Amino acid sequence: MRLDDLWTAAALSRSMRHRRASRCGRFIGCMLVLLAGCSGTPLEYVPNPEYNLAGNWVLVPELSDQVPDRSFLRARGGMIAFVTQDFPVLRAQRMHIEQNRDSMGVEYDGSDYRDVSWGVRQRGLWEVEAGWLEGNLVIDSQAPDGDARETFILSPDGEMLTIQIRVSSGREAVELTRIFSRT
């Protein structure tokens, strides 16, 4: 075997090893992404005593997203118009919140009321999981025809509450940010 043939064989061997390693690396990377996406980060069910939502809250319209009109949602078709009706926070102008160590109650605009317990509970068609993730209250809701995530972000001084809401059904979704001020 000539020296040129040895160099060529060595180069081919390195190239094949590199391609195999690259494919293997991509495969492992894809598997890690899939596993991370499937497992999610579990919510903590013990509230931080400093995280207190109790009190009266009023919407700050100039800082909040515009709520889509129900007729607009109905015109889009699908179930999204019906699914959003189960989330009064989307349209609330005022909230009164009572909070204790294992749950909170929210009254929206003096009429709709919602009780949320930390942990996993069934609420009608919805399976609701409420807890803390990265210091924020998260409420995940799952139903056969939709899902939702509400993330409550309390300002450091406790006077502003940002609620990020995502409600989806099929391929339709509504995503809004609502900002409330403590009164």
Question: Do 150 and 91 fall into the same domain?
Answer: yes
Q: What is the CATH number of the domain that holds 79?
A: 2.40.128.20
Query: Does residue 47 lie within any of the structural domains?
Result: no
pLDDT exceeds cutoff 70 at 11: no
The CB-based long-range contact list for 150-158 (8 Å cut-off, 24+ gap) reads 150/87, 150/89, 152/53, 154/51, 154/52, 154/53, 158/52, 158/182
Radius of gyration for the chain, computed over Cα atoms and rounded to the nearest angstrom: 25
Question: Do 108 and 161 fall into the same domain?
Answer: yes
Domain that holds residue 5: 1-38
Question: Do 10 and 93 fall into the same domain?
Answer: no
Who contacts 118 (Cβ-Cβ below 8 Å, separation ≥6)? 45, 46, 47, 102, 103, 130, 131
Question: Do 62 and 34 fall into the same domain?
Answer: no
Question: Do 118 and 87 fall into the same domain?
Answer: yes
**Angle (nearest 5°) at CA 83 between 79 and 88:** 150
The stretch 76-81 carries a mean pLDDT of 77
Contact 103, 118 (CB under 8 A): yes
Beta-bridge mates of residue 121 = 128
Who contacts 58 (Cβ-Cβ below 8 Å, separation ≥6)? 93, 94, 180, 181, 183
The stretch 20-30 carries a mean pLDDT of 45
Q: To the nearest whole number, what is the mean pLDDT of the chain?
A: 83
Who contacts 41 (Cβ-Cβ below 8 Å, separation ≥6)? 133
Residue 2 is predicted with a pLDDT of 52
Question: Do 126 and 173 fall into the same domain?
Answer: yes
Q: Which pLDDT tens digit goes with each residue over 112-153?
A: 999 999 999 998 899 999 999 999 999 999 999 899 999 999
Under the banding of pLDDT at 50, 70 and 90, the label for residue 73 is: confident
Question: Do 82 and 21 fall into the same domain?
Answer: no
The stretch 8-15 carries a mean pLDDT of 49
Under the banding of pLDDT at 50, 70 and 90, the label for residue 5 is: low
**Angle (nearest 5°) at CA 95 between 91 and 98:** 140
Residue 120, number of CB atoms within 10 A of its CB: 14
Question: Do 30 and 103 fall into the same domain?
Answer: no
Question: Do 29 and 67 fall into the same domain?
Answer: no
Residue 28 is predicted with a pLDDT of 42
Residue 27 is predicted with a pLDDT of 43
Percent of the chain with pLDDT over 70: 78
Query: Does residue 170 lie within any of the structural domains?
Result: yes
Under the banding of pLDDT at 50, 70 and 90, the label for residue 47 is: confident
Q: State both tokens at 66.
A: 């515009």
Residue 69 is predicted with a pLDDT of 85
Question: Do 9 and 74 fall into the same domain?
Answer: no
Question: Do 23 and 107 fall into the same domain?
Answer: no
Total domains in the fold of the chain = 2
Query: Does residue 61 lie within any of the structural domains?
Result: yes
Question: Do 66 and 127 fall into the same domain?
Answer: yes
Query: Does residue 45 lie within any of the structural domains?
Result: no
Nearest CA-CA partner of 174 in 110, 78, 59, 43: 78
pLDDT exceeds cutoff 50 at 55: yes
Contact 164, 148 (CB under 8 A): no
